[in-house]
Structure 1
Amino acid sequence: MIKAIAVDKDGTFLKSDHTYDKAYFEKIFDELKRQDIKFIVASGNQYAQLQSFFPEKDQHITYVAENGAVTYYDNELMTSYYFDQQLIYDVVETLTRYFKLTDIVLSGIQSAYVKQICSDEFLNFISNYYYDIEKVASFKQIENDNFVKVAMRIKDKDLVEKVINTLETKFAGELRAVTSGNDSVDLILPNVNKGVAIQDVLKQWGIKHDELLAFGDANNDIEMLDLTTHSYAMANCSPEVEAVAQHKAPSNDDSGVLQVIEQYLKRQK
């Protein structure tokens, strides 16, 4: 019996054009509410951005945002985990000094932040994943916020490997680097991920791991998929995700998540 469903957003629930079949979803969502099945949107994206895709559903959707760093339900912050601020400044200095990276976004609980020197291309790119974005001359001028994630876009795959190896060596035990699709690299807290956050809410609800249905496509979904035997890798997933998930779902462009959920709902009627 499935009592909760967790879905990644980009590359999983959303199609490649960042849309989803709203009529199909409304049909499925009505049945989820009827069967009292919890619906969790779990993403590396910002809470405000996730929320914008599901208007007027705050009382029915739990949002695990920023790769598990923040969890919201009904517009209330349930849990949050954030970095030491000086660590983030040291990380950004390493990225800019050694790798000349400027397309960096800091995710705070209040907003997302980019430097004024970031490229217009990067700003347009991250607008697909962040709803509230502020430009600042220096990250050090940010006040009254806590940083939950650092993200960057690196198109050179060899450079991705160098950046990840350098950061995980220099800041061992203080951060973890994960790829999240679309040339994106996320720096997250080492013991915080979608799986940890979802485990917390399942415990609050009294729901067992094998009562969870989960979907993902990228490496930041691995811990979430590893929670349950009802785990689905999308047709377009990474090799690492395919190795962890117990099942394969149709492509995100074919509404694969909704197809699989519909099958489960029919069995539980």
Structure 2
Amino acid sequence: MFRLMATDLDGTFLDGNHQFDQKRFASLLDRLDELGIVFAAASGRGIASMRELFADFRDRMYLIGENGSIIEERGQVIWSRTMDAETVEQLFADLVASPYVDKNQLIFSAEHEVYALETVDADYLELAREYHPQIQLIGDLQEMQEPIFKVTLNLREAEVQEGVAWLVQHLPGYSVMTTGYQTLDIVPTGIDKGAALGRLLLMKDWHPDDLVAFGDQLNDRQMLELAGLAICPENAKDEIKAIADRVIGPASQGSVLKYMEELV
């Protein structure tokens, strides 16, 4: 029997409306508690968004947010990695030097706030607010009040492959993580969901075989490769299906929660 159940959110645990059945989830947590199994949500979402989503359950689970940049245990932060202001300024300069990056399609994630420039593209802002409801608009980067976990950007659809290749080549010391087809997260090298779950396993003195993980996107690869049992919904990327131990039904039909219930 596994000891840690971890899941991605959007495209995996959540339905097409970015929600989940809270009554069934509460019952699942009850059953996991009986068995001594820990539940973790691991997402590229901002930690503030995750706290809001799991407001009624934070004291019963782990939250791993910002693509592995922060770990919260039952409502308390136990580990995090941020970038200081000087580092963020240089990263911003490097990004806007790219022919593929639009500075008006960038957001900056901190623990309590998510920031975008006042000149942010209106359509991009509307899209970003699906995952970060409270985005604070700023005139320049000096107005950010907290250290930053990651920078999120959107590439033009026709330039995704070229844009990713450029960023990988020109951003040494950073990982370029695909969270959706056109959406990328830029985080310091060594930050990902798998590394965060590895830290959690180490804290618990558990083995990767004690982990069952669910994911659908390329930023889930590391945690699925780490897990003793890796599961993905049928809407997952082909690269993720290739490394999964099992492929189940689509996320839109609540297949992940159903499978979790069947596991225990």
Tell me if TM exceeds 0.5: yes
Aligned partner of 1:128 among 117, 127, 130 = 130
Partner of 1:222: 221
1:122-161 → structure 2 map (5 Å cutoff): 122-143=124-145, 145-156=146-157, 158-161=158-161
Give me the whole-angstrom Cα distance separating, in 1, the residues matched to 2:200 and 2:152.
25
Instruction: Answer whether contact 1:48 1:131 (CA < 8 A) is retained.
Output: no
* 1:68 and 1:194 in contact (8 A); partners too: yes
- Greater shift, 196-205 or 79-88, is seen at 79-88
**Residue-by-residue CA offset, 1:57-100 (whole Å, 9 max, x unaligned):** 22211000000001112322111112354343233234334335
**Could you tell me how far apart the structure 2 residues matched to 1:258 and 1:99 are?**
38
Q: Which residue of 2 aligns with 1:232?
A: 231
Identity %, equivalent residues: 23
Secondary structure at the aligned position of 2:214 is classed as strand
SS at match of 2:150: strand
Q: What's the CA shift for 1:105?
A: 0.3
Aligned to 2:20: 20
Residue 59 of structure 2 aligns to a residue in which SS? coil
Aligned-pair CA distance for 1:155? 4.1
Distance 2:60 2:207 in 1: 20
Q: Deviations over 1:162-185 (max 9, x none)?
A: 22222221222x111111115311
| Cα distance between partner residues in 2 of 1:188 and 1:90 | 13
1:108 is aligned to 2:110: yes
How much is the aligned-residue C-alpha RMSD, in angstroms? 1.7
1: distance between equivalents of 2:96 and 2:166?
13
Q: What is residue 181 of structure 1 aligned with on the other side?
A: 180
Partners in 1 of 2:181 and 2:166 — Cα distance?
Answer: 21
Distance 1:162 1:31, change over 3 A: same
Is residue 118 from structure 1 mapped to residue 120 from structure 2 by the alignment?
yes
Q: Counterpart of 1:79?
A: 79
Q: Which residue of 1 aligns with 2:190?
A: 191
Task: Describe the shift of the 1:100–1:220 C-alpha distance in structure 2 as closer, same or farther (beyond 3 A).
Answer: closer
TM-score (ref. length: structure 2): 0.92
Deviation at 1:142, TM superposition (A): 2.1
User: Distance between the aligned counterparts of 1:177 and 1:84, measured in 2?
Assistant: 19
Q: Is the 8 A contact 2:48 2:111 kept in 1?
A: no
Unaligned ranges ≥5, structure 2: none
Answer yes or no: is the 8 Å Cα contact 1:152–1:186 preserved in 2: yes
| Structure 1 moving runs of 4+ over 4 Å | none
Aligned AA (2:210): E
8 Å Cα contact 1:232/1:246 also seen in 2: yes
Provide the C-alpha distance between the structure 2 equivalents of 1:99 and 1:185, rounded to a whole number of angstroms: 12
**SS of alignment partner, residue 194 of structure 2:** helix
Q: Report the TM-score when normalising by structure 1.
A: 0.91
